[in-house]
């Protein structure tokens, strides 16, 4: 009789453990369900896409290599370690930036200049709002489609 009680108790504990596992698993899936949105800056910087597009069109007219340079910059940033705009950072005396890595030394300056121009314009309209990674993605999209 005692063995039967212990067997049932172990069965309930196993079932409870399994239920808790699936509960935590389902909760973690819910919290990890981040979503991208097309209108992320709709309220904080409503003209972000217009500003980036205007700057890219002007830059492409002035320097026809801008599109290729920016696409290449986007590739080096996004397809290596994720889209974090780390390739745009400059080195400091104590830290060699990704931009100055041997593989990135041949990146054309037009791509960097295009992003800096867009960032400057956006800082006038909505200071401290639009990330450089988003600017690089928007600029690349616009330069590919113009």
pTM for the complete prediction?
0.72
Distance CA 146, CA 125 (A): 23
Residue 44 in marked binding region = no
- Answer yes or no: is 49 a known binding residue: no
Residue 34, pLDDT score: 55
User: Domain coordinates of the chain in residue numbers?
Assistant: 1-34, 48-145
The predicted pLDDT at position 81 comes to: 74
Is residue 113 annotated as involved in ligand binding? no
86 marked as part of a ligand binding site: yes
Annotated active-site residue in 53, 59, 76, 99: 76
Burial (CB count <10 Å: 0-12, 13-18, 19+), residue 112? middle
Tell me the percentage of the chain whose pLDDT exceeds 70: 75
pLDDT at 11: 62
pLDDT in tens, 83-122: 888 888 888 999 888 778 777 777 778 898 999 999 999 9
Q: Which CATH number applies to 48-145?
A: 1.10.520.10
Q: What is the pLDDT of residue 9?
A: 63
Residues of the chain with pLDDT under 50: 31-32
Residue 146 makes CB contacts below 8 A (sequence gap 6+) with 53, 56, 57, 60, 67
The answer to whether residue 81 is catalytic is: no
């Amino acid at each position: 009789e005692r063995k039967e009680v212990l067997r049932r108790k172990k069965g309930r504990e196993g079932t409870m453990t399994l239920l808790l596992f699936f509960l935590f698993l389902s909760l973690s899936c819910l919290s990890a369900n981040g979503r991208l949105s097309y209108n992320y800056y709709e309220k904080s910087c409503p003209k972000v896409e217009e500003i980036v597009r205007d700057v890219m069109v002007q830059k492409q007219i002035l320097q026809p290599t801008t599109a290729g340079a920016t696409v290449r910059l986007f590739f080096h940033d996004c397809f290596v370690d994720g889209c974090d705009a780390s390739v745009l950072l400059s080195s400091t005396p104590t830290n060699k930036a990704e931009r100055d890595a041997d593989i990135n030394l041949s990146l054309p300056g037009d791509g960097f200049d295009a992003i800096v121009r867009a960032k400057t314009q956006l800082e006038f309209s909505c200071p401290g709002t639009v990330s450089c990674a988003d600017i690089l993605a928007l600029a690349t999209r616009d330069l590919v489609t113009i």
